[in-house]
Amino acid sequence: MNKSAITIREMREDDLSAVRGLAEQLGYPISLADLSQRFAWLNKSSDHKLFVACTDAAVIGWVHVGKEMSSLLAADRADIGALVVDTQVRSQGIGANLMMAAEKWATDKNLKLMRVRSNMKRTDAHRFYQRQGYEIVKSWHLFTKALRDSER
């Protein structure tokens, strides 16, 4: 693929079908209705930004970056909510370009730290983030509890 033919831009509603397909490649099934509802909310928020990587023909990747609020123990920081690049075009600099767009957004928001969470089994993703200058600082277990039947 010709790298110069790839554009990084803000996500639009008409990208959501492709975004959904890419999310499913990582094992995150979501209905188009739920995705549209979440997109509408996130797209209005100044604390979140959604970018896509696209060619003239298709969306081939996307990233969600958001501001994570301060707590008693940590200052405001940016968080990558998701990064997905189509399996057919990985290792071509697309993920790096999406991360640069997310980092620029966070820098423009005067955020000093970017965090990324990555499943322990995604070792290729870990190497990718390390190549982008990220370092593993801790590991933990994630505990969840459904509070309503619809969340199970």
Residue 62, domain CATH: 3.40.630.30
The overall average pLDDT reported for the chain is 90
Distance of CA 44 to the CA centre of its chain: 17
Q: How many domains does the chain have?
A: 1
Nearest Cα to Cα of residue 137 among 126, 128, 124: 126
Taking residues 124-133, what's their average pLDDT? 91
**pLDDT tens, position by position, 81-100:** 999 999 999 999 999 999 99
- The position carrying tokens 């399996």 is 87
Does the pLDDT of residue 152 top 80, yes or no? no
Local confidence band at 151 (pLDDT 50, 70, 90 cut-offs): low
Q: Which residue has the higher pLDDT, 66 or 150?
A: 66
**pLDDT tens, position by position, 41-94:** 999 999 999 999 999 889 999 999 999 887 787 788 999 999 999 999 999 999
Least confident of 18-22, 62-66, 113-117, 138-142: 138-142
Cα–Cα distances (Å) from 107 to 16, 47, 51, 101, in that order, read: 26, 13, 15, 10
Taking residues 33-46, what's their average pLDDT? 95
Predicted pLDDT of residue 150: 63
Q: How many CB atoms lie within 10 A of CB 119?
A: 11
What residue numbers bound the domain in which 8 lies? 3-151
62: β partners: 52, 84
Residue 52 φ/ψ, nearest 5 degrees: -120, 150
